[in-house]
Structure 1
Amino acid sequence: MLKALIGDGLDPVLQGTSRFVERLGLRPNTLTFIGMGLNGLAAWALAEGEWLEGSSLIVLAGFFDILDGAVARNCRQASAFGSFLDSVLDRYSDLCLLVGLLIHYSRQGQVLYQVLLGLALMGTAVVPYTRARAETLIPKCNVGVMERPERILLI
């Protein structure tokens, strides 16, 4: 949904940034790990109730998540392993953010939010598996209410 709204508008910016990042010697997988680390810091900030810091780190991590794929494509460094690594660390990143929120609301004694976050954790773990499994049975699974960018915005 966000991709449909933004379209290819970011492509020129990402191409230039990709070339710069390549000149720095940073590889796509390094950017993926940086994004994961930033999401880990964001989770810690959310657990501490530092909403501005947490949300700022989430946005920065999102930029690295976009940039790693752009560098891989634009600099001809794409690999099956890199794609797999990106997908796995995206799941860990999502779960880290939710755990950060769960810790925060547990400290506050907010049982309803704890239950809702527990459900969100289950959905975050099961939905990508369901989609991957469906794609072993049908050519392409293009259904779903929210892609990853929308889920992160919701957090």
Structure 2
Amino acid sequence: MPRPSPVERIREAGKAGLERLLGPLVRALARSPVTPNQVTAACLLLTLAAAGALAAGHLATAGALFLVGSAFDLLDGTLARASGRTTPFGAFLDSTLDRLGEGALLAAAAYRFALEGQALAVAVVALGLLGALLTSYTRARAEGLGLACTVGWLSRPERVGLLGIGLLFNVLAEAVFLLAVLSLWTVGQRILHVRRQTGGGPPDLPSSRDA
């Protein structure tokens, strides 16, 4: 099994630290009637509220809401494990709503740039969204083939941090540019990673199915 890269180790350390920080809240929720899927839905609502604030031009508010919602996004999985309520549907719902929230925020960013007449920035947002979706897709497709694929510079935690900083410090255009470049770079890293794991053979076109 390949050793995790420095980026992966930093990512896992950050996740573990945040889970420890949220530990008391997780334990309190585990004793309550709140379900992990309800927490997942609440995280989406916070992200949609962030998208609404961004569309209205309140970037700092959007950044705060987005970062809080994304931080609490760890709660649903941690709560599910702590309360013994892990389900395949819960994992599916979490991943799906994460993509929905991220897409809504980037759509709001494109709307703001369009209002300001920044056509190039709108195009960059589209590339950033494509990169973010492909980053998730390449991992899911690889795991569907039984391969681990968490390599790369910019997975969801880094995208969240980058967008949050861009919103809080009013450097959204620069953040979106970095998001587009580094997300697409990460897609390339994952393609090469899977190629190395599979020996780079030709694709199995007759039985391959798009996910």
* Aligned counterparts of 1:112 and 1:10: Cα–Cα separation in 2: 36
The match for 1:8 is 16
Question: When the two structures are aligned, how many residues end up with a matched partner?
Answer: 155
Q: Which residue of 2 aligns with 1:126?
A: 134
* Matched ranges for 1:2-81 at <5 A: 2-6=10-14, 8-81=16-89
Select 1:93's aligned residue among 95, 101, 106.
101
Residue by residue, what CA displacement relative to the aligned partner does 1:85-112 show, whole Å, maximum 9, x if unpaired?
A: 0010011111011001011111111111
Structure 1 residues 20 and 148: CA distance shift in structure 2, 3 A? same
Deviation at 1:84, TM superposition (A): 0.6
Q: Which amino acid in the other structure matches residue 65 of structure 1?
A: D
- Letter of the structure 2 residue corresponding to residue 22 of structure 1: A
Q: Which moved more, 1:9-18 or 1:75-84?
A: 9-18
Deviation at 1:21, TM superposition (A): 1.4
List runs of 5+ in structure 2 lacking aligned partners: 1-6, 164-211
- Cα distance in 1, alignment partners of residues 19 and 13 from structure 2: 14
Q: Report SS of the residue matched to 1:143.
A: coil
TM-score, length-scaled by structure 1: 0.91
What are the ranges of 5 or more consecutive residues in structure 1 without an aligned counterpart? none
Cα RMSD of the aligned pairs, angstroms, is 1.7
Give the alignment's TM-score, normalised by structure 2.
Answer: 0.68
1:10 aligns to what SS in structure 2?
A: helix
| Residue 153 of structure 2 is aligned to residue 145 of structure 1 | yes
> What secondary structure sits across from 1:109 in the alignment?
coil
1:51 deviates by: 1.1
User: Which structure is larger by alpha-carbon Rg, 1 or 2?
Assistant: 2
Is 1:107 matched with 2:115? Answer: yes
One-letter amino acid matched to 2:82: N
Q: Greater CA deviation, 15-24 or 68-77?
A: 15-24
Q: Counterpart of 1:89 in structure 2: which amino acid?
A: L
Deviation of the 1:15 alpha carbon: 2.9
Q: Which moved more, 1:52-61 or 1:8-17?
A: 8-17
